[in-house]
Amino acid sequence: MKRFAVVTATLFFLTNTAGVLAQTPKLMIFGGMGHRIYLGCLNCSQYASDSVYNEYGHYGSPYSADSVFNPYGEYGSPYSDESACDPYANDPPVIVDQDGRFYGRLTLNVYHPQASSNESVLGWLAMVCRH
């Protein structure tokens, strides 16, 4: 039930707040060394196979190594330097579109110079990182 509430709130944020993300091209998350590891689509439907909102998909599963929902994984741990959920991460995942445009870092580290300033994304991430 908690997972459903997070997805519902997130979809509301991403589709209804100023239309910012709803009007953008496909936003993708990449992490790891050189940001070569695909971590899912940030603004895709929860039914898309690569959506971070698809809890049955690879990128939305709390058990997948490539998911920000996995608190024991590299990208969802509160203690990993490459995690979106580590408030001190130096190399958190990046958000880019299919044309390579950079939208900031997906991180709780508010002091990171490239941290996303999108309130919808930050609100969603705060909910995700509560695990």
Can you tell me whether residue 13 is helix, strand or coil?
A: helix
Domain regions of the chain by residue span: 2-128
Q: What is the pTM of this model?
A: 0.82
Sequence-distant contacts of 114-122: CB under 8 A, at least 24 apart? 118/20, 118/21, 119/17, 120/13, 120/14, 120/17, 120/20, 120/21, 121/14, 121/21, 121/42, 121/95
Residue 58: which of 78, 83, 81, 41 has the closest Cα?
A: 41
pLDDT by 10s per residue, the chain, length 131:
455 455 545 554 454 444 444 567 999 999 999 999 999 999 999 999 999 999 999 999 999 999 999 999 999 999 999 999 999 999 999 999 999 999 999 999 999 999 999 999 999 999 999 96
Tokens of 12: 């509301």
Question: What is the residue-wise DSSP string for 116-127?
Answer: ---HHHHHHHHH
